[in-house]
Chain A
Amino acid sequence: MAATGRTGRPNQLFRNLNAKIASIPMILIALVVFLGGSVWTVVYSFTNSKLLPRLNFVGLDQYDRLWASARWIVSIQNLAIYGILSLIFSLVIGFVLAALMDQKIRFENVFRTIFLYPFALSFIVTGLVWQWVLNPEFGIQSVVRSLGFTDFTFDPLYNPSIVIYGILIAGLWQGTGLVMCLMLAGLRGIDEDIWKAARVDGIPMWRTYLFIIIPMMRPVFITTLVIIASGIVKVYDLVVAQTSGGPGIASEVPAKYVYDYMFQAQNLGQGFAASTMMLLTVAIIIIPWAYLEFGGKKRG
């Protein structure tokens, strides 16, 4: 056979050159901003940088101080409470709403819009509105009291021991619509034959949801979990708008700690140490997931 044409394997770098060129922004963002930025942050967390970053290493001092700080501990606890409850309630409420919506109801569009519209509003707006609704002098408490229940007390934003639940109420209000949407999409993706099979088997509806449908929606739950979780870690605006971390430090969260110490206390090193702790937590949760999702199984 006459060997005309190219014989050798061409340089791999130049195959699909266009694709690689088009991916440059993504690669730059991933490497320079996300990876570079994170590494930069971690490195500077070992320094005593104040207002401006300085490479003056002090070992683990910033971390020692961080973990000795009552506010950081409270922040972590709050994040844990808020995170766990927010996950549970978002998933439960989102799923229940989606299940209700999936019953071939009338006015589905109207209900869906109602559940989803808060998602269009920023946390700042959400925080302001709920601050208003939960205000004991004007809001729910005063209304209920004016109805004659004078002992009624509902002032989550002014009670340090339950303030985080006040924030949770607002957070759920804002976010469950999206969860419902995701769940609904997942429900609609389930083979209708499964429902029929369950009906023929005489399995009641709630059991079908619980034992058959929910396990089948695992991928949707995972996607949703990731989306909610990424929001939880970042929760900041909501707290700032609703309580500014108060009363006292009762509703502080890690992201706010980072921001306050970096900029208000002008102690970058401390802020970076706190960010590094957050990064570490996120990494511990996310990397195994990302590995399973994107690295482990090869797509066709």
Chain B
Amino acid sequence: TDLEVTHWWTSGGEAAAVKELAKAFDATGNKWVDGAIAGSGGTARPIMISRITGGDPMGATQFNHGRQAQELVEAGLMRDLTDLATKEKWKEVIKPASLLDSCTIDGKIYCAPVNIHSWQWLWLSNEAFKKAGVDVPKNWNDFVAAAPALKKAGIQPLALGGQPWQASGLFDTLALSLGGKDLYMKVYKDKDADAAGGADMAKVFKAAADARDMAKGSNVQDWNQATNLVITGKAGGQIMGDWAQGEFQLAGQTAGKDYSCLPGLGLSDYITTGGDAFYFPLLKDKEKAKAQEVLASTIVSPKAQVAFNLKKGSLPIRGDVDLASANDCMKKGLAIVAKGNALISTDQLLSADTQKQKEDLFSQFFANPSMTADAAQKRFAEIISSAD
């Protein structure tokens, strides 16, 4: 049966990963009809939502974990996967459990998680630092200290794309890695406006201002263009989620040799685990409904998990798969998850509305050097105080 699957995985690494899923699904005798929409989730989600609410749903669609699809579920537009999940014992195999929790609404499971993404990575170009004549940094502070040398060598210290979510993600990463777990949870989970406006957070904002100076001059838009600057040694480093890994891999680079990765920016042992999940709109067609189940089960299956996540550079959602072929970086990530140091991602903690406001704030902050850290923090506190 043909099943149309919409997603926004269009960069090189992503597309390669999707191909693995499609292959696995096609192998079950069904057909994966690819509905890629380019231009990141911001472009794609409205289209997906319109189609679901407009009564022309696709067979399955990607969303980020968390609250993006909550209302669709509440409106009864999505398919309940609880039966399948019980049958395949998802509750037991999927690690960390928070992943499945965010698929669960009123005790029912509505999505199949595909991968775990963590945001807190600093990717570094070994070549760039060699050229600048400094050692490859071991953490964020080293990186900041090396920036002048990079600049002198004509190298952009920090690569940052223009898309608002990148700026926002960078800041959240700084908040967790520099501010620590407690601050992160207070601000993002408890929505504590005092903490958001407090002195600890002010330090994070100070660091963000430094990052802003380092990022000045990287005139690229897409995240993977920014990654490309690192790959080609035009930039020293980039703060980006683990999906950047896929790009390095596609470029044929080896972790440790050509590039380095620092989870938690080398300062903290925590990462957040968000990620992507597939949701299945309620369909009238029986055949398709059956195919949906097959797809859900394929996605969670160990084989597909390995194939997919290796290509994508993200972590698999189950603890029981063998990732022997994973590279250094992935292994670092897996180790942290195994330690139980995985926190819930901002996507799950904050509503899309709050996220958007945050994006607006930080994209403005990073683009506009005249905005002071204080002003930004004040606004940030406001957003957190009204967050839901």
- Which residues of A are at the interface with B, using a C-beta cutoff of 8 A? 50-52, 65, 69-71, 135-137, 155, 158, 160, 243-250, 259-267, 270
Let me know if A248 and B363 touch, CB within 8 A: yes
A137-B219, A244-B162 as given contacts; A50 in contact with B366, CB under 8 Å: no
**Roughly how many angstroms separate A265 CA and B360 CA in the complex, as a whole number?**
11
Let me know if B367 and A50 touch, CB within 8 A: no
Let me know if A248 and B219 touch, CB within 8 A: no
Surface stretch bound by A, among B94-102, B188-196, B242-250, B350-358: B350-358
Tell me the dominant secondary structure on chain A's binding face.
loop
Listed A/B pairs (25) with beta-carbon separation below 8 Å = A50-B71, A50-B353, A51-B70, A51-B72, A52-B72, A65-B386, A70-B364, A160-B367, A243-B162, A245-B164, A246-B221, A246-B367, A247-B363, A247-B367, A248-B363, A248-B366, A248-B367, A249-B360, A250-B367, A259-B46, A260-B42, A261-B353, A263-B49, A265-B357, A266-B49
For A247, what are the chain B residues with a Cβ–Cβ distance below 8 Å? 162, 363, 367-368
A160-B368, A249-B367 as given contacts; A266 in contact with B360, CB under 8 Å: no
**Roughly how many angstroms separate A88 CA and B352 CA in the complex, as a whole number?**
39
For A270, what are the chain B residues with a Cβ–Cβ distance below 8 Å? 353
For B368, what are the chain A residues with a Cβ–Cβ distance below 8 Å? 160, 247-248, 250
For B360, what are the chain A residues with a Cβ–Cβ distance below 8 Å? 69-71, 249
Q: Mark B335-378, 1 if CB is under 8 A from A, else 0.
A: 00000000000000001110111001101111110000000000
In the complex, which of the residues B42, B355, B366, B386 has the most CB atoms of chain A within 10 Å of its own CB atom?
B42
In the complex, which of the residues A69, A248, A259 has the most CB atoms of chain B within 10 Å of its own CB atom?
A248
Nearest CB of A to B32, in Å: 26
Residue pairs across A and B with CB atoms within 8 Å: the count is: 86
For A50, what are the chain B residues with a Cβ–Cβ distance below 8 Å? 71, 351, 353
For A259, what are the chain B residues with a Cβ–Cβ distance below 8 Å? 46
Residue of A nearest to B369 (CB): A160
Q: Does B68 contact A (CB under 8 A)?
A: yes
Q: Does B312 contact A (CB under 8 A)?
A: no
**Roughly how many angstroms separate A263 CA and B70 CA in the complex, as a whole number?**
14
In the complex, which of the residues A51, A65, A260, A263 has the most CB atoms of chain B within 10 Å of its own CB atom?
A51
Q: Does B7 contact A (CB under 8 A)?
A: no
Q: Does B163 contact A (CB under 8 A)?
A: yes
Let me know if A265 and B356 touch, CB within 8 A: yes
Additional pairs, 9, CB under 8 Å, beyond known A52-B75, A160-B367, A249-B364? A70-B360, A71-B364, A135-B219, A246-B162, A246-B164, A246-B221, A248-B363, A261-B353, A265-B353
Q: Mark B65-95, 1 if CB is under 8 A from A, else 0.
A: 0001011100100000000000000000000
Residue of B nearest to A157 (CB): B219
Q: Does B141 contact A (CB under 8 A)?
A: no
Q: Does B45 contact A (CB under 8 A)?
A: yes
**Roughly how many angstroms separate A200 CA and B359 CA in the complex, as a whole number?**
65
Let me know if B72 and A244 touch, CB within 8 A: no
Let me know if A246 and B71 touch, CB within 8 A: no
Q: Does B379 contact A (CB under 8 A)?
A: yes
Let me know if A260 and B365 touch, CB within 8 A: no
Tell me the dominant secondary structure on chain B's binding face.
helix
Query: Which B residues, 28 to 50, have Cβ-Cβ distances below 8 Å to chain A?
Result: 42, 45-46, 49-50
Let me know if B71 and A263 touch, CB within 8 A: no
Residue of B nearest to A264 (CB): B42
- Which residues of B are at the interface with A, using a C-beta cutoff of 8 A? 42, 45-46, 49-50, 53, 68, 70-72, 75, 162-164, 219, 221, 351-353, 355-357, 360-361, 363-368, 379, 386
Residue of A nearest to B161 (CB): A246
Let me know if A263 and B75 touch, CB within 8 A: no
Residue of A nearest to B46 (CB): A263
**Roughly how many angstroms separate A65 CA and B387 CA in the complex, as a whole number?**
12
Residue of B nearest to A260 (CB): B356
For B75, what are the chain A residues with a Cβ–Cβ distance below 8 Å? 52
Nearest CB of A to B76, in Å: 11
For B50, what are the chain A residues with a Cβ–Cβ distance below 8 Å? 263
**Roughly how many angstroms separate A264 CA and B361 CA in the complex, as a whole number?**
15
**Roughly how many angstroms separate A158 CA and B368 CA in the complex, as a whole number?**
10
A51-B72, A70-B360, A246-B162 as given contacts; A266 in contact with B351, CB under 8 Å: yes
A246-B363, A249-B364 as given contacts; A261 in contact with B379, CB under 8 Å: no
For B221, what are the chain A residues with a Cβ–Cβ distance below 8 Å? 244, 246
For B45, what are the chain A residues with a Cβ–Cβ distance below 8 Å? 263-264
Nearest CB of B to A8, in Å: 50
Let me know if A266 and B163 touch, CB within 8 A: no
Nearest CB of A to B25, in Å: 28
For A136, what are the chain B residues with a Cβ–Cβ distance below 8 Å? 219
Let me know if B353 and A267 touch, CB within 8 A: yes
Residue of B nearest to A51 (CB): B71
Nearest CB of B to A36, in Å: 17
For A69, what are the chain B residues with a Cβ–Cβ distance below 8 Å? 357, 360
Nearest CB of A to B87, in Å: 30
Residue of B nearest to A249 (CB): B364
**Roughly how many angstroms separate A255 CA and B309 CA in the complex, as a whole number?**
38
For A266, what are the chain B residues with a Cβ–Cβ distance below 8 Å? 49, 68, 71, 351-353
For A243, what are the chain B residues with a Cβ–Cβ distance below 8 Å? 162
Task: Sort A-B residue pairs by CB-CB distance and give the 7 closest, nearest first.
Answer: A248-B367, A263-B46, A265-B356, A247-B367, A51-B71, A267-B353, A266-B352
**Roughly how many angstroms separate A160 CA and B366 CA in the complex, as a whole number?**
11
Nearest CB of A to B121, in Å: 23
For B353, what are the chain A residues with a Cβ–Cβ distance below 8 Å? 50, 261, 265-267, 270
Nearest CB of A to B380, in Å: 12
Let me know if B53 and A52 touch, CB within 8 A: yes
**Roughly how many angstroms separate A137 CA and B156 CA in the complex, as a whole number?**
14
For A265, what are the chain B residues with a Cβ–Cβ distance below 8 Å? 352-353, 355-357
